[in-house]
């Protein structure tokens, strides 16, 4: 206990003299004394450190120090894996006193470097906090530790005929706490809305170690400011989410899908209006793929959903999915829709193919989801995850291609393809620029060009991937100076010493 | 301009000397000089004041100084009705410098005194800000001035086959800005979720007059903290909402409803599970009425939906509504549900009546909605709008009745009825205690008793009505000390001089 008091006292002294400028001071590294303190909070099996007495090889920390794409790399010496909220609180309290940076880490599946240290911060892994706290099968309200893996939660509630309101490609390893911290979007957003609506409560350890318990299971609660909302999408910079209460919808009894070939992009929006009206509450996805994306997906192994003849003259494609309570009803609605579309005087679509069985259902989705893989196989992709008005999707793609042409960067020697695909229903376009190799010229031609185009549409430079370490400099293209200034004030009151996920979200 | 500079200078001096304790200083009253300044911002028709030169009779301000129930009364001398966000900004800037309190006022339809002055604050009415700024019929995204009346917006988008995601009894006079500021719940929450999910952007004038423009029309935007969420449900204490961007769903093509009589409350939850599973995405309301509520509604003029025989032995009733894309499908699902329920070995319901036409549809709803009126006709109601776990609805009602009995306050001489009804789907119970007259004894028996019961269930003392001036002292029953302390910090950074809707939401 001696060392504890000594450090605490030093921490306090530090704080009083540096309080005003704390955030601009460099953070402290973890020392052996810190490790000795962590050993009072956690068992040895929950501490992984290159420092004595743990003294593991630095390779053992590689998975924690890097993101899965190998794009971001930190130099943390220490990974802590608490099992309880109280342990998280004690660790955070200590790090705050000592001014040691902390990176909260969930499944580490992000795309923008948000869960990897920028320096030698402590990595606080939530992996050991993986218990379901409660599930009410009547209300569908689930309360779980932040470290629960999304797929595990899906499996947990499936026997009770409920599904999670979010679904992601990374569901096998991403954690619910990370989903909430990054306000993950995913495939079900069109149907079930954003986490700002479905998350009912949070338990958060604040940067001073205080536990903010707002883990209620109420659908309605109008008693003061809804503080938990601040932590949804804050990417762990305001505190560490340790528990989540979330509303899960009843599982649909049936899912169907259909792929439609369109002669022109300008038909997409009128088509979306008709589909929304006719399918109404059973519409669960409306995904857009331009012709180049389709061709690349087919080229790189996805089956042809449509015949050569069907594809002839198609400028783009739309994948429509329905999820509903009764298969026959849903099929009837889909068939009626197809008839209506094909028998129109001036049809918006050339043709459409309705999946007839689960295998076909999956293969239509594989076509849409295969675009990402195809693009990576074809070359080096520059990927932009943006929100722009639906009506501008094609303009943004074509404009980017023209811009690259004007710079002499379009063709076999540089950029081979500019493709667009994504979630029309959410206004979320994946703009991919496929180059032979990553070069400074292409990079300079694309940025800030793409961000400026997004800003001119009052769009978002990050629809669902977040800001992380990657886009802090570009925040200004989507948020006003006033907004950014207020974000900094919020950060300052929650984390005056700047220890919580430093270098993420906000620009310097 | 002379007086402007003089006042501004004085304001600044005030601020620097009192900055730390500003919020605890009394606010200043509006003077003739202030009015002279407001006259530079607004035309005479937009200023209503008992002070010269406007000099209207104080009765003309009565509607603004009082709530519609006549329960709350302020003494404001001045109502300002700006037409633009810039005018709001200039007014607020002035009031902040001068430390004059401001009450933002929408339709003034609240139930907790949130939109009425506690003293002589300026009333800033949004009534003249009533323009639709844009509507995109493809995405369903509506952008409107805060002063637009909910019903007007409903009418505006109806020809485009969209509906507002919220619906309230007060829709003919409540304003969208007030709906958002109070995080209004209403009848469509079960289906379309809360405003935290459907509001996509806000324009807010902050207490220092700065315009925070987050009025985007994006469904997905993960670029930094979602600041707008703080203003949803802050009841105008952090700033004045001047514009709202909101996602409107496609209009359902058909609506049906059915009333079910249940032998016992314990059947409600199993019934809810079955109804959710079978009706799935078309379920749009699941409303609970206990037997006493039903009898009172019938007694006070609502038609009998069920025959004498049907009602025999029923302990409570449930109203189920569906809204879907195809009438035949919805009817088939409802009929199947009824068959399933009635043919079960141990039926959960005694009987059920399905509405056969729009008139019957309305009369079933009238029965549910008529409870409020019936209760008022029967006596003096103490009304509690609480969230508790679904399974506790009846316990809370019965417990309250027993508690009153134990105090000798139940019977013809004091409390005649304790009834429960509400939105089972939302976990929102309306607990009404119907007395002969309002007395201090009954009041003392009910409070804090009811709040303590709510707290023991980790419930909400205000599910949808908000805190306003009425429940600031009771906030602690639903929010922890840590939460309240953080709310106060948030208030302090946004409104350090304490001018924005003083006396509301937060306890002293």
First and final CA of chain B: distance in angstroms?
38
Could you give the C-alpha distances from A9 to A3, A215, A499, in angstroms and in order? 10, 33, 18
Question: What is the per-residue pLDDT across A378-437, written as a single tens digit (0 to 9) for each?
Answer: 999 999 999 998 889 999 999 999 999 999 999 999 999 999 999 988 899 999 999 999
| Residue B460 contacts A where some CB pair is shorter than 8 Å | yes
CB nearest to A225's CB, from B216, B426, B490: B490
The span from the CA of B213 to the CA of A482, in Å, is 8
Question: What is the per-residue pLDDT across B388-431, written as a single tens digit (0 to 9) for each?
Answer: 988 899 999 999 999 999 999 999 999 999 999 999 888 999 99
Q: Indicate which of B219, B277, B463 best probes the interface with A, i.e. most A CBs within 10 Å of its own CB.
A: B219
Give the architecture (CATH level 2) of B379-465: 2-Layer Sandwich (3.30)
The span from the CA of B209 to the CA of A353, in Å, is 56
Q: Does the pLDDT of residue B335 top 90, yes or no?
A: yes
Nearest by Cα to A375 from A324, A317, A333, A418: A418
Residue B8's pLDDT is 35
Q: Tell me where in chain B the CATH 3.30.70.2740 domain(s) lie.
A: 379-465
The span from the CA of B370 to the CA of B298, in Å, is 9
Query: Hey, what long-range contacts does B96-99 have (CB within 8 A, 24 or more apart)?
Result: B96/B11, B96/B207, B96/B208, B96/B209, B96/B497, B96/B499, B97/B7, B97/B8, B97/B11, B97/B12, B97/B15, B98/B7, B98/B11, B98/B28, B98/B34, B99/B11, B99/B14, B99/B22, B99/B25, B99/B27, B99/B28, B99/B497, B99/B499
The span from the CA of B497 to the CA of A41, in Å, is 43
Contacts of B168 in chain A (CB under 8 A): none
Question: A132-247: what CATH class?
Answer: alpha beta
Residue B10's pLDDT is 34
Average pLDDT of chain B? 92
pLDDT band at residue B303 using 50, 70 and 90 as cut-offs: confident
| Radius of gyration of chain B, Cα coordinates, nearest whole angstrom | 25
Residue A6's pLDDT is 33
pLDDT, mean of residues A474-493: 97
Q: Does the pLDDT of residue A21 top 60, yes or no?
A: no
- What DSSP line would sit under A414-425, residue for residue? SEEEEEEEEEGG
Of residues A35 and A366, more confidence is placed in A35
**Cα B135 from chain centre:** 25
From the options 3.30.70.2190, 3.40.50.720, 3.40.50.2300, 3.40.605.10, give the CATH code of A254-356: 3.30.70.2190
CB contact under 8 A, B217 and A389: yes
The span from the CA of B141 to the CA of B157, in Å, is 10
- % chain B with pLDDT above 90: 85
The span from the CA of B222 to the CA of B219, in Å, is 10
pLDDT band at residue B316 using 50, 70 and 90 as cut-offs: very high
| Residue B221 contacts A where some CB pair is shorter than 8 Å | yes
From the options 3.30.43.10, 3.40.50.1820, 3.30.465.10, 3.40.718.10, give the CATH code of A2-128: 3.30.43.10
Nearest by Cα to A430 from A373, A494, A495: A373
SS3 state of residue A125 = strand
Contacts of B233 in chain A (CB under 8 A): 222, 224-226
SS3 state of residue B391 = helix
Nearest CA in chain B to A471: B223
Give the architecture (CATH level 2) of A379-463: 2-Layer Sandwich (3.30)
CB contact under 8 A, A460 and B332: no
Q: Tell me where in chain A the CATH 3.30.43.10 domain(s) lie.
A: 2-128
Question: What is the per-residue pLDDT across B204-247, written as a single tens digit (0 to 9) for each?
Answer: 999 999 999 999 999 999 999 999 999 999 999 999 999 999 99
CB contact under 8 A, A222 and B324: no
| Residue A149 contacts B where some CB pair is shorter than 8 Å | no
Average pLDDT of chain A? 92
From the options 3.40.630.70, 3.30.70.2190, 1.10.3720.10, 3.40.190.170, give the CATH code of B254-367: 3.30.70.2190
- % chain B with pLDDT above 70: 95
The span from the CA of A377 to the CA of A271, in Å, is 31
**To 5 degrees, how large is the angle CA A220–CA A487–CA B488?**
55
CB contact under 8 A, B250 and A479: no
Contacts of A276 in chain B (CB under 8 A): 140, 250
Report ipTM (2 d.p.).
0.92
Sort strands B78-80 and B102-105 into parallel, antiparallel or unpaired.
unpaired
Q: Does the pLDDT of residue A368 top 60, yes or no?
A: yes
| Residue A164 contacts B where some CB pair is shorter than 8 Å | no
Residue A186's pLDDT is 83
Residue B12's pLDDT is 35
Structure tokens at A177: 């706490």
Asked whether the beta carbons of A429 and A383 are under 8 A apart, the reply is no
Q: Does the pLDDT of residue A10 top 80, yes or no?
A: no
The span from the CA of B496 to the CA of B97, in Å, is 12
Q: Does the pLDDT of residue A165 top 80, yes or no?
A: yes
Q: Does the pLDDT of residue A254 top 70, yes or no?
A: yes
CB nearest to B223's CB, from A324, A426, A475: A475
Q: Tell me where in chain A the CATH 3.30.70.2740 domain(s) lie.
A: 379-463
Contacts of B230 in chain A (CB under 8 A): 225-226, 229-230
Burial class (CB in 10 A: 0-12, 13-18, 19+), A301: exposed
Residue B169's pLDDT is 83
Residue B71's pLDDT is 86
Give the H/E segment covering residue B332: helix B327-342
Nearest by Cα to A86 from A181, A175, A210: A210
Burial class (CB in 10 A: 0-12, 13-18, 19+), A339: exposed
Residue B310's pLDDT is 87
Q: Does the pLDDT of residue B192 top 60, yes or no?
A: yes
| Residue B478 contacts A where some CB pair is shorter than 8 Å | yes
CB contact under 8 A, A462 and B223: yes
Chain A residues 367-426 within an 8 A CB cutoff of chain B? 387, 389-391, 423, 425-426
Q: Tell me where in chain B the CATH 3.30.465.10 domain(s) lie.
A: 132-247
Question: What is the per-residue pLDDT across B51-86, written as a single tens digit (0 to 9) for each?
Answer: 999 899 999 999 999 998 888 999 999 999 999 999
Residue A373's pLDDT is 87
Question: What is the per-residue pLDDT across A270-314, written as a single tens digit (0 to 9) for each?
Answer: 999 999 989 989 999 999 999 999 999 999 988 778 888 989 999
DSSP B138: T
């Amino acid at each position: 206990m001696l060392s504890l008091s000594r450090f605490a006292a030093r921490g306090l002294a530090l704080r009083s003299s540096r309080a005003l400028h704390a955030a601009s001071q460099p953070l402290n590294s973890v020392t052996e004394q810190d490790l000795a303190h962590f050993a009072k909070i956690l068992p040895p099996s929950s501490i992984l450190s290159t420092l004595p007495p743990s003294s593991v090889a630095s390779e053992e920390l590689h998975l924690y120090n890097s993101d899965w794409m190998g794009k971001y790399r930190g130099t943390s010496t220490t990974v802590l894996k608490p099992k309880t909220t109280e342990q998280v609180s004690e660790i955070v309290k200590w790090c705050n006193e000592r001014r040691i940076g902390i990176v909260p880490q969930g499944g580490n599946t992000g795309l923008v470097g948000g869960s990897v240290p920028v320096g030698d911060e402590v990595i606080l892994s939530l992996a050991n906090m993986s218990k379901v706290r409660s599930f009410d099968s009547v209300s569908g309200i689930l309360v779980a530790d932040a470290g629960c893996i999304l797929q595990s939660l899906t499996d947990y509630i499936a026997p009770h005929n409920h599904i999670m309101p979010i679904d992601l490609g990374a569901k096998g390893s991403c954690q619910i706490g990370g989903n909430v911290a990054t306000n993950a979007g995913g495939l079900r957003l069109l149907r079930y809305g954003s986490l700002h609506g479905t998350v009912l409560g949070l338990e958060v350890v604040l940067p001073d170690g205080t536990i903010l318990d707002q883990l209620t299971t109420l659908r309605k609660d109008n008693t003061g400011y809804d503080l938990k909302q601040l932590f949804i999408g804050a990417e762990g910079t305001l505190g560490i989410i340790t528990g989540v209460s979330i509303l899960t919808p009843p599982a649909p009894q049936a899912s169907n899908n259909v792929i439609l070939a369109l002669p022109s992009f300008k038909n997409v929006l009128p088509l979306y209006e008709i589909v929304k009206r006719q399918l109404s509450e059973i519409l669960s996805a409306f995904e857009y793929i331009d012709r180049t994306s389709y061709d690349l997906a087919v080229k790189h192994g996805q089956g042809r959903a449509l015949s050569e003849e069907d594809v002839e003259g198609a400028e783009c494609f739309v994948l429509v999915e329905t999820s509903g309570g009764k298969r026959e009803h849903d099929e009837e609605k889909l068939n009626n829709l197809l008839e209506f579309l094909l028998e129109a005087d001036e049809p918006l679509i050339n043709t459409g193919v309705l999946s007839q069985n689960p295998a076909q259902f999956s293969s239509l989705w594989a076509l849409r989801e295969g675009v990402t893989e195809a693009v990576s196989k074809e070359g080096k992709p520059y990927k932009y995850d943006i929100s722009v008005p639906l009506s501008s999707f094609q303009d943004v793609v074509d404009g980017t291609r023209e811009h690259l042409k004007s710079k002499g960067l379009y063709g076999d020697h540089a950029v081979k393809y500019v493709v667009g695909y994504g979630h029309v229903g959410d206004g979320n376009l994946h703009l991919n620029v496929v180059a032979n190799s990553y070069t400074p010229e292409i990079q300079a031609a694309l940025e800030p060009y793409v961000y400026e185009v997004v800003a001119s549409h009052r769009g978002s430079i990050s629809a669902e991937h977040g800001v992380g370490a990657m886009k802090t400099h570009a925040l200004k293209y989507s948020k006003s100076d006033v907004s950014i200034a207020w974000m900094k004030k919020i950060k300052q009151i929650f984390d005056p010493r700047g220890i919580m996920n430093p270098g993420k979200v906000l620009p310097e």
